[in-house]
Structure 1
């Protein structure tokens, strides 16, 4: 894909949403385009996020055709407006805004990901561990709201364990995540034992980056996720790869420039070089779990 044809963050999210809604309805691009008076080429460009004039009326017409719920339709139209106004945006939302489920949408579409974390990643968390983390952050939320968020997190995990084309996931986990007590010793023991078991899946690689490795590149770089979306039958990228850096209490950051994505791959290579192998990682997880059980 030529550089000036690269889809931008907001266009990609909008296109992904519209494509998923069309596929849910079982419509081809040709039929959907005809129904809303667009050319098939225009709809294809819209779904792949490639540059073109974004019209809110087109997005509304497609959402109506796909029978999208009013709230989701409003979000899609707003996303189209944002994409038209500020197409090059790379910082969005943060934990106080779901940003139209920006990251979750990318995660669901990814074929593989590489992540470095300093806590257990959401895709591998037990319900009790997730509940403790979410409760600590959303301190004023009701029990029902906490339960809803935990349920969403657990449902996301199906992409790792499903039989048909599961997500290929490489996790580089800092050793501090094993010792930072989330939810109490019992919760931690169960979480670490379950982590050791899920790391046996053929699509999951889990390695601990030990304290003894010091700081990679001499910096505290923090967590990141590299998402890859694979290629189509012709070998072309379905979507360009992207790096997600969680904003915690500020804006989330999405890195799309190829040279910057490559730097994160180099960072992952450096972390990987000093990480324990998979067998020693499982041994460490089980040993620390026993310590929590003592």
Structure 2
């Protein structure tokens, strides 16, 4: 992956998915776009030239039948392709409603995350997700809300599928359990769901109790470290990436020093958290209290 960057790999991933949706082969796309098959192969692997020609990306989008939003997003990725770590500001270069992260998540093998205030999407119940979605998109029609919730539920196949499910390591702040989203019935079902999910061999859920204080000395917001598995020789398929979400945009970090610092932060938070069995007991206890 020498010279590769996250925007380049994401650009290649979306081009490959578009081609597969059309059912076309690499030689067919190459002929229509007037590029060589080897060039298309390199593009799909994220191995673009140092200077990406936006005209090539625009032509590929046309050949692959990409809609206006997808075309704009891929052109935006191409313009940011040289950034090793980058900040995706909503509405800048890439359309605000184009979810770059979802394409990244689909390829992951291990997710390590800390969330101090809310249950992460991969562990939400449909009712919990619906309350958050309605709050986040107050002007949306019910059909659009249903679609967003359905998509979030579909994403959970990443950890529940039978064949090679991703590993999920999570620490949730106790505030996540105490803050009522929706009502007590929604919370009871959500906490029971967390306890049940924590029994899966590929899912680890720990709770950071209030009494643990602030393990790092400074408050830390939600972050996710994504890892993409290793090849036969033990080399990573792709470099790990740290994803930090904010209200106005997303930060993607892949410099080794940044990834290492977030791994160390997670280890410190995990060390201060309850163990898995105690966390599961607390979840079941609070679920019963909410039901009562």
TM over 0.5: yes
Do the aligned partners of residues 234 and 33 (structure 1) sit closer, same or farther apart at CA in structure 2, a change above 3 Å counting? Answer: farther
Q: How big is the shift at 1:112?
A: 1.0
Q: How big is the shift at 1:269?
A: 0.7
- Match of 2:241? 242
- Say whether residues 1:46 and 2:49 are aligned partners: no
TM-score by length of 2: 0.89
8 Å CA contact retained: 1:94, 1:246: no
Do the aligned partners of residues 12 and 58 (structure 1) sit closer, same or farther apart at CA in structure 2, a change above 3 Å counting? Answer: same
The within-5 A match list for 1:2-41 is 2=2, 5-7=3-5, 9-25=6-22, 29=26, 32-33=29-30, 35-41=32-38
8 Å CA contact retained: 1:48, 1:239: no
- Match of 1:228? 227
Structure with the bigger percentage of helix: 1
Partner Cα separation in structure 1 for residue 272 and residue 291 of structure 2: 29
- Match of 1:111? 109
- Say whether residues 1:284 and 2:282 are aligned partners: yes
Superposition CA RMSD, Å: 2.4
8 Å CA contact retained: 2:121, 2:129: yes
Partner Cα separation in structure 1 for residue 23 and residue 171 of structure 2: 39
| CA deviation map 1:52-78 (0-9, x unaligned) | 131233223433443434543343234
- Match of 2:60? 62
The total of aligned residue pairs comes to 288
The within-5 A match list for 1:19-168 is 19-25=16-22, 29=26, 32-33=29-30, 35-52=32-49, 53-80=51-78, 82-83=79-80, 87=83, 90-94=86-90, 98=96, 100-118=98-116, 119-168=118-167
Which region of structure 1 is more displaced relative to structure 2, 133-142 or 54-63? 54-63
Partner Cα separation in structure 2 for residue 238 and residue 27 of structure 1: 25
Q: How big is the shift at 1:143?
A: 2.2
Q: How big is the shift at 1:47?
A: 2.2
- Match of 1:173? 172
Partner Cα separation in structure 2 for residue 39 and residue 95 of structure 1: 33
8 Å CA contact retained: 1:182, 1:188: yes
Partner Cα separation in structure 1 for residue 35 and residue 232 of structure 2: 25
Unaligned runs of 5+ residues in structure 2 are none
| CA deviation map 1:244-264 (0-9, x unaligned) | 1111x2221111111111000
Secondary structure in structure 1 of the residue aligned to 2:106: helix
8 Å CA contact retained: 1:92, 1:99: no
Secondary structure in structure 2 of the residue aligned to 1:172: strand
- Match of 1:273? 271
Secondary structure in structure 2 of the residue aligned to 1:181: coil
